[in-house]
Each structure stands twice: as C-alpha cells, then as structure tokens.
Amino acid sequence: MKPGMSSEGRGTTEMHYHKTSKKRENAATRLSGAGKTSISFELEAWLISRGIPAYGLDGDNIRTGLNKDLGFSKEDREENIRRVAEVAKLFADSGIIALCSFVSPFAADRKMARKIHENFDIPFVEVFVDTPINVCETRDVKGLYKNAKAGSIKVSTENKEKLENSKSIVLRYKGKPYAIMRQLEFFLHHKEERVARQFGTTNPDHPYIKIIYESGDWLVGGELEVLEKIKWNDGLDDYRLTPNELRTRFKQLNADAVFAFQLRNPIHNGHNLLIQDTRRKLLEKGYKNPILLLHPLGGSVKDDDVPLSVRMEQHKVLLQENILPKSTVLAIFPSPMCYAGPTEVQWHAKARMVAGANFYIVGRDPAGITHPDQVNYPGKNLYDAEDGGIVLSIAPGLTSIGILPFKTAAYNKVLKKMDYFDLSRKEDFEFISGTKMRNLARIGQLPPNGFMSPKAWNVLENFYRSV
C-alpha cells in the first residue's frame, strides 16, 4: 500500500489518498464541514494501530508552517496544492501513507497533483464524502455558514477573476435565486480604512470588525434586480414591512406624525415611560394622531442578546395588555447590528426617515458596545453615551426628521416604578441591567414591582431559563 492525497473544496467534501488496490476520481463539488479531515485522521489512527505508517496533512499543519507564506489568491492556491502534492510524493517514497485534506475546487489543480504522483508511478485516488449541507451547517467549525447567513459573502481574488468578465451574477440563498446583479464593478476592499472610518477603532476583537477582516479582499456592486421579497418562514414575515409598506400603513391609520423607536432589547416600563411621554408631547404640539413605529432590530446581533423571536413575543404581549399605545405599528427592522456607535445611528435614523417617520428617539450609547480592549480600558464602553445624540443633531441629510433625545430611566425604589433618573437623588434609583434580568430569571425571582409587566416578564423568564 502506498501513500495518497486528499483534497477539499467548495460544495461537498472530496478526499484523495493512495491505495494500490483501488483507484477512483470524483470531481464533484465539496462543502466545508463535511467531515473529510475527521475521516482522514480516524483512518490515520486506524492504520497506525495496525502497524502501517500513516500521517494526516491538512491546512492547519501545512499553512502554519511550510505554506505560511501563501495567501488565498488563485496563484497561491495553486502553489499550495503543488507543494502538498510534492510532500505527499515524498511520503510515498518513504513508505508512509499520506492522508491530505485541502481546499482544491479546481480540476486543473487536482490533475496537477495526480500527475506529480503518476510521474513517479505512485497511484492517486480520490474518495468523495457526500454530506448534506444542513449537516455541514451544524458543524461550521470555522463560522463560514454563520458569516454567509449574516450577509458576509467573500469575494476573493479567485472569485473576482471568475466573475469580472460576467455580464451578471445571480444571488441565491439555499439554492433559490432572489436577485440578479448586472453591470458589475469590483472594488479593492480597504479593510483597515473601512473599519477605522466606520468604527473609530481597528481593534480585531470588536465582533463586526472581526467579520470584516475575515471577509473577501474585493467588494462587488452593480444594478440589482430583486426577483421577489425574501421570506424567512419563521412566523414573523408579516412584520417585515418595506418602507413603502410602512408608509401605506401610516396613511391607512391617518397618522399626522410618526415617531420611531428602535431597540435590540426587551421592553421594560422605562421604555414605555419614554414612549408615552413622547406621544404626550407630540399631542401638546398640536398633532392629532401620532403613531408609534416600534421597530426592533431584526438582523444579526451578539450571541448574548435576546433573540428576535423572543423579543417579538414580549412586544406583542405588551400590545395585547394595552401597555403600549393602541396607535402602534410593530414592524421588524431587518438590519444587522454592527455596533458602530455614532456612525451606525445615522443609518438607523435615515432608514426610518425613508420609511415615513417624522421623529426618531435616540437612546444613550446607541449601537454601542463594551470596549474590545478591556485590558487598557477596563469597564469602559467604546463610545461615549452622548455621542449618538450629538452626531445626529449635526448630521447631514436628516432635514425631514426630528431627533428626540432619550432620557435615562431607572427603577425608583421610593415610588416603586420606573422614573427618569435624577442624579441629585441617585440613592433612590436602581439600574436593572440585562445581566441582572438574566440572573433573576434563572433563579426564578421576579424583578421589582413596576419594572415590567408580569406577563411580559414571563416570556423572558421562560427564555432565560432555557439557555
């Protein structure tokens, strides 16, 4: 028995190794996470246990050593496979079975690897591991599927070279076409400049900056034709209203003012205090029918944030109990949370303006996050709490929307209800954070009376105790 070679590419997984009794080649596409490396290493252990010399090679032990000088351009990928093939040939010459697992989506590269072996009369065999995509997604060790679902589709140099002469490309999700992009333009992805301008930091420990750094080296844009509205089939599609659909809804309700409130957290009575106070002030200004656009963020968020489905269930309970204004439109804002602070809050405000809102409530530290460098900035946030409001007050392009600053609310221990925080009486107030809510729910303890509707709390308690 002589050594061989395995290769992994896109789609499904392909494994190549040498064996004198059987030869086989399969040029099907491959998927990350199909289990080819795991099978190779299991086979390696099985062979060694029977006294047969074998060694598994994959990207982790080759790209961190022999090929650490190579990137992921088309040329570097070809050179990566060439070097692996040469190493596998040397293993064969020494009588060791080589089990290799590498991204190799192109037949030309595999043909080259085969030729290197055949020139020395060493058999070359490909073994195809056919794993369903839903199984690969559950593994997702490298986070590839998670990034794809979050909208991070890599445009590598290799992909650019394949696409740049195309007249159009089809954008698909799970094999179904949703849009066609024409008149393609490619732009070099200046990642460091992008994150510096957008986030005010280049720290790679910031969750969204990490996604950007791991994305492709090119950006692609063009004229987009959307074939149909995307549906997630999660029971919430009726709440995913487009700007035009929201404008139509406001018109049907005879709204003479729309004030938008975005949040990525469950609603407590402090939020409701601000909402009711804003509505009262608009009535005092002469508006007859101000409508609340309750617009929770529905895109990707941090892993420790409450999921959209739970938040929506809690919001609907508050509407059913008439705790929120009857004149409320509950809809989902589909954007992901980038945690870009003052830069991102401008997008949030302009998106609501396009959807027909006249007023936008901006909170403290909007789109903020704990500082990613807690060694040098222990306990600090990345952005100042007032930055978002200040930037919105001077931001261009917001001429048709009024900015309403968010007053800080806390639990008033004397009045036993949520109240606007008064620094001169700070000992009377208690701030109940998301962490504290989680801890209360997990031990089955209720929050202070007046903090949140009991039925709404029950929704959160059931969630927190399940995770």
Task: Tell me which H or E stretch contains 56.
Answer: strand 54-58
Q: Are residues 456 and 393 in the same domain?
A: yes
* CATH label of the domain that carries residue 60: 3.40.50.300
Residues 239-262 have a mean pLDDT of 97
Q: Are residues 157 and 259 in the same domain?
A: no
Q: For residue 250, name the pLDDT band (cuts at 50, 70, 90).
A: very high
Q: At what angle do helices 191-199 and 341-354 cross, to 10 degrees?
A: 80
Q: For residue 277, name the pLDDT band (cuts at 50, 70, 90).
A: very high
Q: For residue 184, name the pLDDT band (cuts at 50, 70, 90).
A: very high
Pure H helices in 355-415: 387-394
Last residue of a domain, one of 80, 105, 135: 135
Q: What is the DSSP string of 138-200?
A: HH-TT-HHHHHHTT-----HHHHHHHTT-SEEEEEETTEEEEEEEEEEEEE--HHHHHHHHHS
Last residue of a domain, one of 226, 255, 273: 226
- Report if residue 389 sits inside a domain: yes
Q: Which of 158-162, 169-173, 453-457 is predicted least confidently?
A: 158-162
- Report if residue 129 sits inside a domain: yes
Asked if residues 230 and 334 have their Cβ atoms less than 8 Å apart, the reply is no
* CATH label of the domain that carries residue 392: 3.40.50.620
Compute the C-alpha angle 462/466/467, nearest 5°: 130
Residues 107-119 have a mean pLDDT of 87
Nearest CA among 337, 341, 339 for reference residue 391: 341
pLDDT at 377: 93
* Neighbouring residues of 377: CB distance < 8 A, sequence distance ≥ 6: 371
pLDDT at 307: 93
Rounded CA gap, 369 and 205, in Å? 12
pLDDT at 147: 57
Q: Does residue 102 have a pLDDT over 70?
A: yes
Asked if residues 450 and 269 have their Cβ atoms less than 8 Å apart, the reply is yes
Q: What is the DSSP string of 307-359?
A: PHHHHHHHHHHHHHTT-S-SSEEE--B-PPP---HHHHHHHHHHHHHHTT-SE
**Backbone phi, then psi, for 107, in 5-degree steps?**
-60, -35
Residue 66 token pair: 């022999």
**Backbone phi, then psi, for 222, in 5-degree steps?**
170, -175
Residues 435-450 have a mean pLDDT of 89
Rounded CA gap, 44 and 301, in Å? 40
Query: Which structural domain range is residue 268 located in?
Result: 237-464
- Report if residue 7 sits inside a domain: no
Rounded CA gap, 57 and 63, in Å? 10
Could you report the per-residue pLDDT of 283-311, keeping only the tens digit for each?
999 999 999 999 999 998 888 889 999 99
pLDDT at 123: 79
pLDDT at 301: 84
- Report if residue 75 sits inside a domain: yes
Sign for the pseudo-dihedral over CA of 466, 444, 438, 405: positive
Q: Which of 58-72, 216-230, 234-248, 427-441 is predicted least confidently?
A: 58-72
Q: How many domains does the chain have?
A: 3
Task: Tell me which H or E stretch contains 257.
Answer: strand 257-261
Q: Which of 242-251, 327-336, 360-369 is predicted least confidently?
A: 360-369
Rounded CA gap, 421 and 305, in Å? 25
- Report if residue 1 sits inside a domain: no
Asked if residues 158 and 72 have their Cβ atoms less than 8 Å apart, the reply is yes
CA gyration radius, the chain: 28
- Report if residue 3 sits inside a domain: no
pLDDT at 153: 55
pLDDT at 142: 63
Q: Are residues 376 and 436 in the same domain?
A: yes
- Report if residue 2 sits inside a domain: no
Sign for the pseudo-dihedral over CA of 342, 343, 348, 353: positive
User: Quick one: DSSP state of residue 93?
Assistant: H
Which residues are bridge partners to 381 per DSSP?
Answer: 370
User: Quick one: DSSP state of residue 11?
Assistant: B
Q: Are residues 265 and 193 in the same domain?
A: no
Mean per-residue pLDDT of the chain: 85
Strand order across the 409-412 sheet: 417-420, 409-412, 429-430
Q: Does residue 270 have a pLDDT over 80?
A: yes
Residue 101 token pair: 């697992």
pLDDT at 141: 67
Q: Which of 57-66, 183-192, 193-202 is predicted least confidently?
A: 57-66
- Report if residue 5 sits inside a domain: no
Could you report the per-residue pLDDT of 78-87, keeping only the tens digit for each?
898 899 999 9
pLDDT at 18: 33
**Backbone phi, then psi, for 223, in 5-degree steps?**
-75, 125
Could you report the per-residue pLDDT of 134-147, keeping only the tens digit for each?
677 777 766 666 65
Asked if residues 103 and 113 have their Cβ atoms less than 8 Å apart, the reply is no
Could you report the per-residue pLDDT of 12-34, keeping only the tens digit for each?
223 333 333 332 223 223 567 77
Q: Are residues 102 and 211 in the same domain?
A: no
Distance from CA of residue 223 to its chain's centroid?
24
Task: Tell me which H or E stretch contains 129.
Answer: strand 126-129
Q: Are residues 358 and 418 in the same domain?
A: yes
* Neighbouring residues of 108: CB distance < 8 A, sequence distance ≥ 6: none
Could you report the per-residue pLDDT of 387-403, keeping only the tens digit for each?
888 898 888 888 889 98
Question: With b meaning 16 or more CB within 10 Å and e meaning fewer, what string describes 244-282?
Answer: eebbebbeeeebebbbbbbbbbbbbbbbbbbbeebbeeb
Q: Which of 242-251, 253-262, 300-309, 407-416 is predicted least confidently?
A: 300-309
Q: Are residues 430 and 318 in the same domain?
A: yes
Residue 211 token pair: 């996604």
Q: Are residues 151 and 277 in the same domain?
A: no
Q: Are residues 120 and 159 in the same domain?
A: no
**Backbone phi, then psi, for 66, in 5-degree steps?**
-55, -40
Last residue of a domain, one of 97, 114, 135: 135
**Backbone phi, then psi, for 186, in 5-degree steps?**
-110, 140
Rounded CA gap, 47 and 315, in Å? 58
The more confidently predicted of residues 109 and 447 is 447
Q: Which of 101-110, 137-146, 328-337 is predicted least confidently?
A: 137-146
Q: Are residues 24 and 51 in the same domain?
A: yes
Q: Does residue 5 have a pLDDT over 50?
A: no
The more confidently predicted of residues 376 and 156 is 376
- In terms of residues, how long is the chain? 467
Q: Does residue 356 have a pLDDT over 50?
A: yes
* CATH label of the domain that carries residue 219: 3.10.400.10
Rounded CA gap, 124 and 191, in Å? 41
Q: Are residues 178 and 79 in the same domain?
A: no
The pTM (predicted TM-score) of the whole model is 0.68
Q: Which of 325-339, 342-356, 379-393 is predicted least confidently?
A: 379-393
Q: Are residues 124 and 249 in the same domain?
A: no
Percent of the chain with pLDDT over 70: 89
